[in-house]
Amino acid sequence: MASVRARAQRSLNVWPGYVDALATLLLAVVFLLTVFVVGQFFLSQELTGRDAVLNRLNRQIADLTDLLALERSSRRAQEEAASGLRNTLTATEAERDRLRALADASEAASGKSADVDAQLAAERGATQRAQNQVELLNEQIRALRRQLAALEDALAASETRDRESQARIAELGSRLNVALAQRVQELARYRSDFFGRLRQVIGSRTDVRIVGDRFVLQSEVLFAAGSAALKPEAGPELDRIAGAILDIAKEIPADIPWVLRVDGHTDARPIQSAQFPSNWALSAARAIAVVQYLRSKGLPPQRLLAGAFGEFQPLDSGTSEEAYSRNRRIEMKLTER
């Protein structure tokens, strides 16, 4: 009897250990939640800093583009001025050569007879004036050459600044591309979470599936044949999808330009009715009906996009009823604007 009582006491002493284990597990969960909240805070601070850097880079690129346009305009004006100076220099040199030829002819005439002494004196006076004019023209030519040299130096400096501006613009463009690539990677992470939650929503259903980066619903799940009005039984399916999208939307930062694209597809058999003159019209109406329903469930309208492909993007190229059924579908894709 005493041994039975001892065993009973030993079995009752196990419960404090269970209580300690549960308390330790609770403390670990609280610690992990604290770490997650702190991580989210620092992540949001980092994204805000990246936005500021991205905006500053955009402003710098715009300023450099304006500066480059101004430099190019100045260089064109300088080139036009240099061309005018070269033309003036050419005309001046031609005039100088003509005056020199005239002076040489006057000096050759000095050896003629005495009857032309008076004319020779006049020619000498003209020659002296021509020589003085030649000297003046030479001085003008030297001044023009100095101006041309200064313009060429200015053009070389402008070309150097142009190359430096181009290099800086290329560097800023590269940095901008890196920043944009980081945004795309962030959106890809949320897209992965989006598809993970949708897989939980759809479970093992065969008429609702994920193909690549798209979420595919067969039209028969949502619409009657040849109609763009949602069936009553389509509501619960779209409600679960809308709930998953709203959960993901709360986690995506507001500065990431994401949209949910809803695309309508039909099979290859043409439709011609007063309401839908083509398969394009039917696929567009169905996509718009889904978008409007999601909007009624709280999704922001600026995050919704309706597209229509008609029969031109088939999943199955066959002509059987099964192939037609696969091609009649609504596709959803989380993508950037």
Identify which of 187, 299, 188 has the alpha carbon closest to the alpha carbon of residue 247. Answer: 299
pLDDT at 318: 92
Is 281 or 77 the better-scoring residue by pLDDT? 281
Q: How far is CA 78 from CA 68, 85, 151, in A?
A: 15, 10, 7
Where does the pLDDT of residue 120 fall: very low under 50, low under 70, confident under 90, or very high at 90 and above?
low
Tens-place pLDDT, residues 205-245: 555 677 766 888 888 889 998 899 999 999 988 998 888 88
In terms of Cβ atoms closer than 10 Å to its own Cβ (0-12, 13-18, 19+), residue 256 is middle
| pLDDT at position 160 over 90 | no
Direct distance between the N- and C-terminal alpha carbons of the chain, in angstroms, rounded to an integer: 80
**Taking the model in full, what pTM does it have?**
0.47
Beta pairing, strands 304-310 & 258-265 = parallel
| pLDDT at position 195 over 70 | no
The chain-wide mean pLDDT, for the chain, equals: 80
Mean per-residue pLDDT, 306-328: 93
Is the separation of the CB atoms in 312 and 264 below 8 Å? no
Where does the pLDDT of residue 278 fall: very low under 50, low under 70, confident under 90, or very high at 90 and above?
very high
Where does the pLDDT of residue 336 fall: very low under 50, low under 70, confident under 90, or very high at 90 and above?
confident
Highest mean pLDDT among 25-29, 110-114, 248-252, 324-328: 324-328
